[in-house]
Amino acid sequence: MTDTQPWADEIFDVLKQINVRQVAYVPDAGHIRLIERSKNDPTLNTIALTTEEEGIGIIAGAWLGGERGVLLMQSSGVGNCINMLSMIQECRFPFLTLVTMRGQWGEFNPWQVPMGQGTKRVLESMGVIVRPVDTADRLAETVDAAARLAFDAYRAVAVLISQRIIGFKNWGDDQP
């Protein structure tokens, strides 16, 4: 994992420009810079979650309260949201989530692979529009376009941030 995430700063700038005020997240190394920037901004309300599906209710509540929100999670958390994703379709509120991917390029943890491989299909089967991004230089523009689609067209949109972008954990050659 890289300690510096310049792409996270670009995403943060996009979220500010589109007037996001609520940032719900489950702690995640892939989102660390974006979470830190959000927590340090006094104009943002950051909500640490115990599980990802709580974030869908938080984002719905933010919208009902007149604010825009974003849910930050890892691909393994998408599986936790399946039941709650139906609320988005039924209630027709905008939903934007940024998902850092695991189980892809350079993954060391076999438990991450199944959900990492199924994330896109799971989200699409629940009616979420999915925008995968494999290069950091396309990330900010993809988040901007996804946010406009979510908030202007009242759609559920997920941006999948490839493991190539966030990097992979290297536990050393002495690990099995």
Residue 29 pLDDT exceeds 70: yes
Domain boundaries, the chain: 6-166
Mean pLDDT of 25-49: 95
pLDDT tens digit sequence for 108-134: 777 777 788 889 999 999 999 999 999
Phi/psi of residue 66, nearest 5 degrees: 90, 15
pLDDT score, position 108: 77
Task: For 59-80, give one letter per residue: b (16+ CB within 10 A) or e.
Answer: bbebbeeeebbbbbbbbbbbeb
- pLDDT of residue 154 exceeding 70, the answer is yes
Model pLDDT, residue 118: 85
Average pLDDT of the chain is: 90
User: At which residue do the structure tokens 């396309």 appear?
Assistant: 138
Residue 2, pLDDT score: 42
Strands (E), 26-170: 45-48, 68-74, 95-100, 129-133, 156-161
CATH of domain 6-166: 3.40.50.970
- Packed helices 32-39 and 6-17: angle between N→C axes, nearest 10 degrees: 50
For 66-106, the pLDDT digits (tens) are: 999 999 999 999 999 999 999 998 899 999 999 988 867 77
Confidence of residue 170 (pLDDT cuts 50, 70, 90): low
* Angstrom distance (rounded) from CA 114 to CA 162: 15
- Of 36-45, 79-88, 167-176, the least confident: 167-176
| pLDDT at residue 5, as a whole number | 80
